[in-house]
Amino acid sequence: MAAQTQILTERIGKIDPSSLEEYVGSGGFEALRRALTLSPVDIIYEVETSHLIGRGGAAFPTAFKWRAVAREEARPKYVVCNADESEPGTFKDRYLMEGDPFRIIEALAIAAYAVGANKGYIYIRGEYPLAYQRLAHAVEESRRAAYLGFNVGGSDFCFDIELYRGAGAYVCGEETALFESIEGKRGQPRLKPPYPVTHGLFNKPTVINNVETLANIPPIILNGGFWYRSLGVHLNPGPKLYAVSGHVRRPGVYEATMDLTLRDLIYELAGGIPGGRKLQAVLVGGAAGAFLGPEQLDVALGFDSLHHIGATLGSGAVMVMDETVDLWQVLRRVTRFFQHESCGKCFPCQLGTQRQAEIVARLAEGEIRPGDKALLIDIGLTMKDASLCGLGQTASNALLSACDRFSLLGEGGGQ
């Protein structure tokens, strides 16, 4: 497969994730050493040249955030790694943390040096005990070897990391909710603006990046931004992790550049659908994502290419459903998820997710009433337009895309 790469996952399964020696022996901390010989401005320039786009779901250019925080005068500043990964169908950050934990530490240290922060946080999903254990061990080991602490790697740069465990709330993956959670409050999203780059954690300038985003940093520092930008697709360069689950022979995490097609991911990398059954639907991007059908198999799995067909890459989750699946049972779970996880801070989402889940639960029992489709569209658009955070804004995506794509409630219907 031309598109398949081994950059982010280069060490996974090849080294002992608890061994600092093996990490260093396989090139680990070389990027940090190199970064410390560069000026922060040069590092941000490399990241900007690379055109690295955030992998946490919002697809925001990483250098943009870094530069904004680097320019802030307020002190202290913070760097935060978002390891709360709770989007249904997503397990690529867990794979990185369990398989190559030192890499996250190295990347976060580089980010901190580039923006002028001396303290970092990693907020790890509460249901990821092994990832937490591995990272906690890696932080201790890194401290002992002076990759964290005073005078990192013999330089003037001081940096340390504190780990936080989430406590079971999906919305805490939203960046401002995550800050609230670390600050010991109910983890509800804040109104934006102000943005994290000026008022983030403890109201200080903060860079927050996803685990996978950070995993891209060491190779960018070592090989340069131009090298990175030449990988894969114009404007959506670099490797991406895809978490494949559902009806495939080999569910798992696959790494490829974003010219990888859905067909190759499902039928080549993940081994196709077992039992000779036919493909019915694929949910791309998790519960906040959209459904695709067999006619869309040739779409490339990039930010822009999916956007063009009204879908989204989101976190890179790909859930595959064969012809035997009752999609209403799947939609019932998707809508129940949002109902359950809505934090209740704003009414469109609090009420919308409840009504939506109730209607879908009824439809899943086969009880269809006239006007259902119009009602669901109405609820969905209201949530999309009027919700405070991404949870409410995306809570109707999967449902409405399924209704559209598979004419679940008849053609046209509401609109």
Ligand X SMILES: Cc1cc2nc3c(=O)[nH]c(=O)nc-3n(C[C@H](O)[C@H](O)[C@H](O)COP(=O)(O)O)c2cc1C
- Judged by beta carbon, residue 60 or residue 202, the one nearer another protein is 202
Q: How far is the CB of 328 from ligand X (least distance, A)?
A: 24
Q: Measured between alpha carbons, how far is 378 from 374 in angstroms, rounded to an integer?
A: 6
The neighbouring-strand residues paired with 159 are 149
The three-class DSSP label of residue 249 is coil
Quick one: what does residue 388 bind among ligand X, ligand SF4, another protein, none, with the CB cut-off 5 to 8 Å set by partner type? Answer: ligand SF4
- Which of these segments, 28-36, 72-80, 328-336, 382-390, binds another protein (CB under 8 A)? 328-336
- Residue 248 CB, shortest distance to another protein, in Å, is 10
Which H or E run includes 404? helix 397-405
Token code pair at residue 330: 């799947």
Among 146-154, 203-211, 248-256, 300-308, the segment contacting another protein (CB under 8 A): 248-256
Contacting residues for 398 by C-beta, under 8 A, at least 6 apart: 283, 287, 288, 289, 290, 291, 331, 334
Is 119 a binding residue for another protein by CB under 8 A? The answer is no
Binders of another protein among residues 165 to 204 (CB under 8 A) are: 165-170, 181-187, 202
Which of 189-197, 224-232, 334-342, 374-382 is the region at the interface with another protein (rule: CB under 8 A)?
A: 334-342
Q: Report the nearest approach of ligand SF4 to the CB of residue 141 (Å).
A: 37
Task: Collect all residues with Cβ–Cβ distance below 8 Å to 106 and sequence separation of at least 6.
Answer: 28, 29, 31, 32, 147, 217, 218
Q: Does residue 82 interact with ligand X by CB under 6 A?
A: yes
Shortest Cβ distance from residue 85 to another protein (Å)?
6
Please, which residue, 5 or 176, has the CB nearer to ligand SF4?
176
Sheet hosting strand 290-292, strand order edge to edge: 252-257, 239-246, 317-322, 279-284, 290-292
Question: Interface with another protein includes 262 (CB under 8 A)?
Answer: no
Q: Name residues contacting another protein, limited to 212-231 (CB under 8 A).
A: none
Q: What's the Cα-to-Cα distance from 54 to each of 29, 51, 79, rounded to whole Å?
A: 22, 10, 14
- Provide the 10 A C-beta neighbour count for residue 25: 10
Q: Which is nearer to ligand SF4, 288 or 402 (CB)?
A: 288
Is 258 an interacting residue with respect to ligand X (CB under 6 A)? no
Q: What proportions of the chain, in percent to the nearest 5, are helix, strand and coil?
A: 45, 15, 40
The SS3 assignment for 64 reads helix
Q: Give the contact letters, 185-204, x = binds to ligand SF4 (CB under 6 A), - = no.
A: ---xx---------------
| Alpha helices per DSSP H over 56-144 | 62-71, 92-99, 101-115, 129-144
Q: Which residues bind another protein (CB under 8 A)?
A: 85-91, 94, 125-130, 164-170, 181-187, 202, 243-247, 251-253, 283, 287, 319, 321, 325, 329-330, 333-334, 336-337, 340-341, 343
